[in-house]
Each structure stands twice: as C-alpha cells, then as structure tokens.
C-alpha cells in the first residue's frame, strides 16, 4: 500500500519576477522527493495526501499546453479513480491558482486559494495551519525574495499547529528561466531537508548557506571568507580570469589579496571589507559571472 504523504504546502508565483515556488513540510521522510513539481514559464504543482505523484509531470505537461490552473486540477481529478484520497495545489504561469482536497483525506484537511498562491494540508492539527500559512505569505510581501516568503509561510503554519503527527522533512523549490547553475536550467533554489527534528529551521539555514555558496536568489551583502572552500573558490576564479598565479590552496595569502584588489580596481568593483574577512556579495557574483562569460567564449 502507498504511504500517505500527510503534509502542508504552499505553491506560489511572484508577479514581479515570474518565479514559481513550492514550500512543503511533513512528518514523512524526504517529502521533497514526491510533493513539489515546477517548470519556469509553465507552472507549479504540489501533490500530497495519498499522493498520485503522476499529478506532477502530467500537470506540468497540461499547463504547458495552455490549460489554466483550475482546468489542470479538474482534468487530473476527473481522470483519477483515487481522487477522494488526493490533495493538490496548482499555480500557472499567469498566477492563477487552484486546489483540490479529496473527501476522504484524513482530518484535518483543506486548502486556501489566494491571489497568486494556494495553501493546502492534511492530517493537520486544525484549519489554523492553512489559514496562518496564507496570512503569513501575504504579510511577507515586503521580504526580498519569493524564497523568503515561502519560508515565512511554512514557519507560521508550524507555529499554528502543523502536521498533527509532528515534523520530519521539508523542501523549498524555486524556478526561474535560466536561474540554475550557469544559467543552464531553471532551478534557482532546490533545497531538501530529508530527516531532521526541526526541518523548517534547517531549511532556513540551508537557504542562507545557499546565498553564500550559490550567490542566489540574490547575493548576500557580505560574502564571508570563513572557510578554505570559499577561499579556494575565490582563488580559482581569480586564476581563471588570469590575474592570479599562486597556489589554489584555500589560504588567504598576500598574493590572493593583491590579485583580488588589482582586479577589483580594474573592473571598478568594491573590494574586500576592512577586516579582510569578507567581500561584497555583488563582487563575488561579478567574479563568477566574468568566469562563466569567459568559458562560454562570448
């Protein structure tokens, strides 16, 4: 018998950037492997409860054909004999949102469809989990990025009761055209916490780390050079740009500092902070972008 994916999730689209996202938390191992599905410029789907994971790829294919979120929900449900046990949320590329909660989903189960987003959950402590998730997402409109709004919504849902069985895993999936590594795919953020006592807080920590390592969704104000891996990356970038000829060993040497200062001066970029322990995130992003451009041969 299939395992029930009892969970709460939010599916949303940012009207300013066109980014699409799913945030999810559950007392279920590796919930991110089953619930979230998204494609930039097409839409996003969350499938849960006694989940039919085929809703993900099939739903995206229908959205790509031009069906609206509501039409996709109607089609998926109509063609599924197990519909009474399913729950899903869909947002299309225009921001239209729709959701469905089967009559036999375990209590408490329900959804809230808002402007450009939908929240849904099953086996919850109560309706407040979903209503607070929706409220928090709407209230978080001033946060800098869609990913931050999704985390805020998940945290509010948990504070309101969450999954009645407890906590185990969480995931955050955000897509944007050419938003992935090197611009080769649309995976702007793809983070999963598969098994953790505080999955949402761990997801929040991973998002902060993501910004330091991947410099996205937006670069951090300060890129801290607090590990050999980060200094190694900096040295590799400077060497690829032809301004550093020293060892790539993760040690912040005099040669490394001098090469960085020279390049920043030539390119009119802000250099390292006074303490020498960080450089502006925008500078690190510019270094990485310059290397990617060089590698592309343009």
Q: Is there a single domain that holds both residue 99 and residue 195?
A: yes
Last residue of a domain, one of 212, 241, 267: 212
Q: Please, which residues have CB within 8 angstroms of residue 289's CB and are 6 or more apart in sequence?
A: none
Q: Is there a single domain that holds both residue 130 and residue 28?
A: yes
φ/ψ of 30, rounded to 5, equals 55, 55
Q: Is the pLDDT of residue 3 over 70?
A: no
Q: Is residue 1 part of a domain?
A: no
Q: Is there a single domain that holds both residue 13 and residue 104?
A: yes
Residue 180: pLDDT band (50, 70, 90) is confident
Rounded average pLDDT over 208-234: 83
pLDDT at site 263: 95
Residue 216: pLDDT band (50, 70, 90) is low
Rounded average pLDDT over 165-176: 97
Closest CA to 209 of 199, 223, 195: 223
Last residue of a domain, one of 193, 212, 231: 212
- Measured CA to CA, the distance from residue 264 to residue 51 in angstroms comes to 52
Q: Is residue 199 part of a domain?
A: yes
Give the number of domains in the chain.
2
Q: Is there a single domain that holds both residue 32 and residue 159?
A: yes
Sign of CA dihedral 210, 118, 194, 48: negative
pLDDT digits (tens, 9 = 90+) for 74-87: 999 999 999 999 99
pLDDT at site 217: 62
Q: Is there a single domain that holds both residue 18 and residue 154?
A: yes
Average pLDDT of the chain, as a whole number = 93
pLDDT at site 48: 97
Rounded average pLDDT over 63-83: 98
Rounded average pLDDT over 250-273: 94
Rounded average pLDDT over 26-32: 96
pLDDT higher at 291 or 171: 171
Q: Is there a single domain that holds both residue 236 and residue 206?
A: no
**Edge-to-edge strand ranges of the sheet holding 97-101:** 36-39, 43-49, 86-92, 97-101
Q: Three-state DSSP class for 120?
A: strand
Closest CA to 102 of 34, 48, 59, 165: 48
Q: Is there a single domain that holds both residue 201 and residue 82?
A: yes
Residue owning tokens 């930039």: 40
- Measured CA to CA, the distance from residue 166 to residue 185 in angstroms comes to 34
pLDDT at site 1: 46
pLDDT at site 132: 98
CB 278 within 8 A of CB 272: yes
Q: Is there a single domain that holds both residue 46 and residue 20?
A: yes
Q: Is the pLDDT of residue 40 over 50?
A: yes
Cα separation values, 267 from 61, 232, 245, Å: 44, 21, 19
pLDDT at site 298: 59
- Measured CA to CA, the distance from residue 81 to residue 179 in angstroms comes to 37
Question: Which CATH number do you get for residue 63?
Answer: 3.60.20.10
Q: Please, which residues have CB within 8 angstroms of residue 54's CB and are 6 or more apart in sequence?
A: none
pLDDT at site 2: 60
pLDDT digits (tens, 9 = 90+) for 95-147: 999 999 999 999 999 999 999 999 999 999 999 999 999 999 999 988 889 99
Rounded average pLDDT over 53-63: 98
Rounded average pLDDT over 2-17: 88
Q: Is there a single domain that holds both residue 191 and residue 245?
A: no
Question: Which CATH number do you get for residue 230?
Answer: 1.10.101
pLDDT digits (tens, 9 = 90+) for 237-248: 999 999 999 999
- Measured CA to CA, the distance from residue 51 to residue 191 in angstroms comes to 21
Closest CA to 37 of 95, 89, 94, 81: 89
Q: Is the pLDDT of residue 151 over 80?
A: yes
- Domain containing 141: what range? 7-212
Tokens standing for residue 162: 């969450």
pLDDT at site 210: 84
Q: Is there a single domain that holds both residue 135 and residue 189?
A: yes
φ/ψ of 201, rounded to 5, equals -65, -35
- Measured CA to CA, the distance from residue 262 to residue 155 in angstroms comes to 44
Residue 5: pLDDT band (50, 70, 90) is confident
Q: Is there a single domain that holds both residue 13 and residue 146?
A: yes
């Amino acid at each position: 018998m299939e395992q029930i994916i009892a969970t709460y999730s939010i599916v949303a689209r940012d009207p300013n950037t066109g980014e699409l996202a799913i945030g999810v938390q559950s007392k279920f191992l590796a919930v991110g492997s089953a619930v979230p599905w998204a494609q930039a410029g097409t839409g996003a789907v969350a499938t849960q409860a006694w989940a039919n994971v085929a809703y993900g790829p099939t739903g995206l294919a229908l959205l790509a054909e031009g069906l609206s979120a509501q039409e996709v929900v109607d089609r998926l449900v109509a063609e599924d004999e197990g519909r009474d046990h399913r729950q899903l949320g869909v947002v299309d590329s225009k921001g239209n949102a729709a959701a469905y909660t089967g009559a036999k989903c375990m209590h408490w189960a329900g959804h809230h469809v808002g402007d450009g987003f939908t929240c849904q959950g099953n086996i919850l402590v109560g309706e407040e989990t979903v209503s607070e998730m929706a409220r928090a997402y709407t209230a978080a409109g001033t946060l800098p990025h869609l990913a931050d709004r999704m985390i805020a919504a998940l945290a509010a849902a948990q504070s309101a009761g969450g999954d009645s069985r407890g906590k185990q895993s969480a995931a955050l999936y955000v897509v944007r055209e050419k938003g992935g590594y090197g611009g080769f795919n649309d995976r702007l953020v793809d983070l999963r916490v598969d098994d953790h006592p505080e999955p949402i807080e761990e997801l929040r920590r991973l998002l902060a780390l993501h910004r330091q390592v991947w410099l996205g969704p937006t670069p951090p104000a300060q890129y801290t050079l607090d590990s050999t891996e980060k200094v190694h990356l900096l040295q590799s970038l400077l060497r690829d740009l032809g301004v550093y000829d020293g060892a790539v060993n993760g040690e912040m040497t005099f040669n490394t500092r001098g090469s960085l200062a020279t390049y920043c001066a030539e390119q009119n970029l802000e250099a390292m902070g006074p303490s020498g322990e960080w450089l502006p995130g925008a500078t690190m992003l510019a270094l990485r972008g310059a290397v990617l451009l060089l590698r592309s041969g343009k």
